[in-house]
Amino acid sequence: MANSKLYKGSLNTIILKLLDEGGRMYGYEITQKVKEITKGELKITEGALYPALHKLEAEGLLVVEVAKVDNRLRKYYKLTEQGVKEKTNRLVELEDFIRNMEQLVNPKWTIN
Amino acid sequence: MANSKLYKGSLNTIILKLLDEGGRMYGYEITQKVKEITKGELKITEGALYPALHKLEAEGLLVVEVAKVDNRLRKYYKLTEQGVKEKTNRLVELEDFIRNMEQLVNPKWTIN
DNA sequence: TCTTATGCATAAGAAAATTATGTATATTTA
DNA sequence: TAAATATACATAATTTTCTTATGCATAAGA
């Protein structure tokens, strides 16, 4: 995914959130959107993305809809009802994670 | 490490930062410190911590110093000069990561 | 005395990524 | 127009990092 190992584990959260915003997106579109938003700092690799999409679909969080545009295949994914709920959970987890990491590396106050 | 997969990849950064603050710490102490700072939300497992410490030592980022306290063994770790540099790098990566994630899940502004 | 806390360690397995491929069409550039 | 790049999907082998399950040993508390 990136030069930094920190992104490990965050791909699903990113996918769910982008699909929540975008309504429906296809794989390649997701890679481009992420690159755009992070100004090229985060590049989702295909080897990570496609298996992740398949897994989320198998878990019932996404549904796929195949389309043909300009004679090329596209698989549009969108959140299921369950996917929307899971997205919310993941975002809460992300907020908790960030808060804890901030606290660990840049403690605002200390007891001792 | 935690209920959330997001922490994957962040252990080394946490270790380096805590050692930078604490001067020198031993493994068990690190687990307790992390638990304390995150109010029990993040628990470093021994199966993750000890191999990580050994690896950081093998990479030359840490040095170990064995001590015996109350007839029990302790292995104090501290940053090497290289470890201090690496700590700085990791913290920059962490800041970038957090900034990118914030931007992805909670974009402040959009172009379109 | 039994449980919990302290303190280290490793091995087997799972999860999630990287890296390397593979296929195919469309568009841009030299 | 030929070659390179962009678009669009996919999977397999390997690596990294963690969880889970052990194991050993001493100290302290119930």
Give me the pLDDT at residue A112, please.
Answer: 43
Give me the pLDDT at residue B22, please.
Answer: 77
Note whether B7 and B42 are within 8 A (CB). yes
Distance (Å, whole) CA B26 – CA B88? 21
* Mean per-residue pLDDT over chain B, rounded: 93
- Residue A57: name the closest of A80, A31, A81 by CA: A80
Cβ neighbour number for residue B46 with a 10 Å cutoff: 10
Of B34, B96, B107, the CB nearest to A104: B34
Give me the pLDDT at residue B96, please.
Answer: 95
Which domains occur in chain A, in start order? 5-105 (1.10.10.10)
Provide the 8-state DSSP code for A23: S
- Contact across the interface for B93 and A18, Cβ inside 8 Å: no
What tens digit of pLDDT does each residue of A21-70 get?
A: 878 999 999 999 999 999 999 999 999 999 999 999 999 999 999 999 99
- Contact across the interface for A104 and B14, Cβ inside 8 Å: yes
What tens digit of pLDDT does each residue of B59-70 get?
A: 999 999 999 999
Residue type, B87: K
Residues 35-54 of A with CB under 7 A from strand D: 46-47, 50-51, 53-54
- Contact across the interface for A97 and B38, Cβ inside 8 Å: no
Note whether B83 and B24 are within 8 A (CB). no
Distance (Å, whole) CA B23 – CA A51? 43
Share of chain B above pLDDT 70, in %: 96
| pLDDT of B36 higher than 90 | yes
Run of H or E residues at A79: strand A72-79
Distance (Å, whole) CA B112 – CA B104? 15
- Residue A27: name the closest of A13, A45, A40 by CA: A45
- Residue A34: name the closest of A42, A23, A26 by CA: A42
Chain D nucleotides reached by a protein CB under 7 Å: 7-13, 16-23, 25-28
What tens digit of pLDDT does each residue of B69-88 get?
A: 999 999 999 999 999 999 99
| pLDDT of B112 higher than 50 | no
Give me the pLDDT at residue B3, please.
Answer: 73
If you average pLDDT over residues B24-30, what whole number do you get?
97
Instruction: Tokens 């369950």: give the residue.
Output: A82
B12 touches strand D (CB under 7 A): yes
How many Å lie between the alpha carbon of B68 and the closest alpha carbon of chain A? 25
| pLDDT of A109 higher than 70 | no
- Contact across the interface for B93 and A9, Cβ inside 8 Å: no
- Assign residue B16 a region: left if phi > 0, alpha if psi is -120 to 50, beta otherwise? alpha
Chain C nucleotides reached by a protein CB under 7 Å: 6-12, 15-22, 24-27
Q: Residue B88 has which token pair?
A: 């700085």
Residue type, A89: N
**Phi and psi of B93, rounded to 5°?**
-60, -40
Note whether B49 and B25 are within 8 A (CB). no
**Contact with chain B for residue A59, Cβ under 8 A:** no
Chain B hits for A18, CB-CB cut-off 8 Å, are 104
What tens digit of pLDDT does each residue of A67-99 get?
A: 999 999 999 999 999 999 999 999 999 999 999
B5 touches strand C (CB under 7 A): yes
